[in-house]
Amino acid sequence: MTHKYEPLRAFVADGLTRIFREPRGVLRHPYIDPGGPYGTNLWDWDSYWSLKAALGLATDTNRDPAWRAQVIRHATGVLNNFFEHQGEDGSVPILMTPDDADWFDSTTDPTQNMAKPVFGQLMRDLALLHDDIHEVVRWCVQLDAYYQCFVGRYQDESGLFVWANDVAIGSDDDPTTWGRPPFSSANPLLNNLLYVDLRAAAEVAGRVEQVAFQEKWNQLADALAARIQEYMWDERDGFFYSVDVQCRQQTRPHRHFGVLNENLVPTWSCLPLKVLYWTGFLPMWTGIATPSQAERMVCAHLLKEDRFWASHGVRTLSADERMYDPTSVRGNPSNWCGPIWILSNYLVWEGLRAYGFGEEADALSERTLALLEQTLREEGQGYENFHPDTGQGLAGPGFVSWNVLVYFMLAAWSSES
> What is the domain-level CATH number for residue 92?
1.50.10.10
**Rounded CA separation 297/248 (Å):** 30
**Rounded CA separation 238/224 (Å):** 20
The reported pLDDT for the residue numbered 2 is: 45
The sign of the torsion formed by the CA atoms of 198, 222, 231, 286 equals positive
Q: Are strands 313-314 and 309-310 parallel, antiparallel or unpaired?
A: antiparallel
Dihedral through CA 283, CA 287, CA 288, CA 293, nearest 10? 70
pLDDT at position 351 over 80: yes
What pLDDT, in 10s, does the model give residues 271-309? 999 999 999 999 999 999 999 999 999 999 999 999 999
What pLDDT, in 10s, does the model give residues 28-86? 999 999 875 567 899 999 999 999 999 888 887 566 888 888 999 999 999 999 999 99
Continuous segment of H or E residues that includes residue 307: none
- Please enumerate in sequence order all residues whose Cβ is within 8 A of that of 340, keeping only pairs 6 or more positions apart, or say none: 310, 312, 313, 314, 315, 316, 371, 385, 386, 387, 388, 391
The reported pLDDT for the residue numbered 134 is: 83
The reported pLDDT for the residue numbered 4 is: 76
**Rounded CA separation 59/252 (Å):** 62
- If one counts the domains in the chain, the total is 1
pLDDT at position 260 over 70: no
Q: 253 by DSSP, 3-state: which?
A: strand
Closest to 59 in 3D by CA, of 131, 133, 130: 130
Grade residue 269 by pLDDT with cuts at 50, 70 and 90.
Answer: confident
> 170: domain range?
2-416
Q: How many other C-beta atoms lie within 10 A of the C-beta of residue 64?
A: 9
